[in-house]
Structure 1
Amino acid sequence: MTAPPCIPAQSVIAMAASAGGLHALSVILGGLPADFPAAIAIVMHLSPVHKSLLAEILGSRSKLEVRQAQTGNILCHSSVFVAPPNHHMSVVKGGRIALSSDEAEKIHFARPSAEPLFASVAEVYQSHAIAVVLTGGDGDGSFGVQIIKDRGGKVIAQDRPTSQDFSMPQSSIATGDVDFILPLTEIAPMLIELIAPGKA
């Protein structure tokens, strides 16, 4: 079966998760239609010493095409790109993915970290960028969400009752730059609404 042709994304959703993230990402991606007209880039804190099966697991739970990101991948509609363990993921001009070396400095004790992803998506996609901060520890993403907002994008944070660890969402909410604090099951419907033609 051949892959569908790439339609370069006009809007990009950057998601970050840590503890409890597999469940959260599965619920959100499972709630999006196969023809979702945006690209999704995901950073999740993973063990650097084991091969990650995150892309395969999420792909089995979603109608979207999910793959582990490689440098040079183009962000396409209806596609999901997962940062590999031990590499920061950024987006560069033209909507291409760039991965750091596995010796790049950790941010918030994490590699990959949400910060390079959020900041670069904000710079490239401006008001067509959306950040989603999901369950997890530490404050990863709290600087990046401010850049997303500065460039005119939107920010969603998972609420406390549905988060296994509320530290990451709480740190972003504390910046004052979160537009929506939502239960897990309401995040996919909000993304569909925000990406509707003329919105994002």
Structure 2
Amino acid sequence: MRTTFSGTEPDLPALPKVAAIVVGASAGGVEALLKIFKPLRRGFRLPIIAVLHLPDERRSHLADVFNSHLAIPVKEADDKEVIAPGTLYFAAPGYHLSVEADLTLSFSQEERVYHSRPSIDILFESAADAYGAKLAGVLLTGANNDGAKGTARIKEYGGLTVVQDPAQALARTMPEAALALHTPDFLLPLPDIALLLVELERIAC
């Protein structure tokens, strides 16, 4: 497990070539996601699929907010949508978001996971099934255990796992739950996670 990343370490092990990135966050997640996505330049080519816990009784404005701050295109995911390169997708409130074997997105209204729908675990586990070792999973700040099992599944399937350092998370329950289940490849503060995403895209593309 590495606890720093600058992209220039001489002893840095070879990073894998990934085809997609999944990200999960809850309490404190808007600020954390903005910090890791702002450095991504226009033309970033990996798809990113994100779950941020939201109340499901109202329309989400996440895509609009992030579109105004980021250089990459951002949209709310649609059911049966084909995953496109270089796009940041946010799960819609009130629906679980899954990645299918044909690399399309799908909605469901199964039971909540840790009181949450959409669930980070459901996204991460389905994406691990679809992408296998070509997936990177990033788990950030949050106040429940959602995402811990999904992060472990990504690791089990050979993917790359990244967990925010709990000491620097607004809500440390979520990253600590992930650390209790597995040892991630990287345990990093937000600025280093941003650098890692940039490097993953450079290697993959």
Note if contact 1:145-1:177 (Cα within 8 Å) is conserved in structure 2: no
The aligned residue for residue 69 of structure 2 is 61
Counterpart-to-counterpart distance in 2, 1:183 and 1:146? 20
The aligned residue for residue 6 of structure 1 is none
The reply to whether residue 129 of structure 1 matches residue 135 of structure 2 is yes
Counterpart-to-counterpart distance in 2, 1:190 and 1:161? 19
The aligned residue for residue 182 of structure 2 is 176
Counterpart-to-counterpart distance in 2, 1:73 and 1:65? 15
| TM-superposed deviation, 1:197 | 2.8
The reply to whether residue 140 of structure 1 matches residue 131 of structure 2 is no
Note if contact 1:25-1:58 (Cα within 8 Å) is conserved in structure 2: no
Note if contact 1:29-1:61 (Cα within 8 Å) is conserved in structure 2: no
Pairs within 5 Å for 1:6-17: 11-17=19-25
Identity of aligned residues (%): 33
The aligned residue for residue 49 of structure 1 is 57
Counterpart-to-counterpart distance in 2, 1:169 and 1:155? 12
| TM-superposed deviation, 1:44 | 0.8
The aligned residue for residue 203 of structure 2 is 197
| TM-superposed deviation, 1:68 | 0.5
Of residues 17, 31, 37, the one that matches 1:29 is: 37
Counterpart-to-counterpart distance in 1, 2:165 and 2:152? 18
The reply to whether residue 162 of structure 1 matches residue 181 of structure 2 is no
| TM-superposed deviation, 1:11 | 1.0
Counterpart-to-counterpart distance in 1, 2:153 and 2:201? 20
Please give the per-residue CA displacement for 1:19-53, whole angstroms capped at 9, x wherever unaligned: 10000111111111222221000101101111110
| Higher RCO (CA < 8 A, seq sep 6+) | 2
Count of residue pairs brought into register by the alignment: 188
The aligned residue for residue 185 of structure 1 is 191
Counterpart-to-counterpart distance in 2, 1:32 and 1:174? 30
The reply to whether residue 78 of structure 1 matches residue 57 of structure 2 is no
Spell out structure 1 runs of 4+ moving beyond 6 A. Answer: none
- Structure 2 stretches lacking a partner, 5+ long: 1-17
Counterpart-to-counterpart distance in 1, 2:58 and 2:182? 36
| TM-superposed deviation, 1:125 | 0.7
Note if contact 1:29-1:58 (Cα within 8 Å) is conserved in structure 2: no
Secondary structure of 1:177's aligned partner? coil
Cα distance, 1:113–1:19 mapped onto 2, change above 3 Å: same
Counterpart-to-counterpart distance in 1, 2:183 and 2:199? 19
| TM-superposed deviation, 1:80 | 0.7
In the superposition, the TM-score normalised over structure 1's length comes to 0.89
In the superposition, the TM-score normalised over structure 2's length comes to 0.87
The aligned residue for residue 14 of structure 2 is none
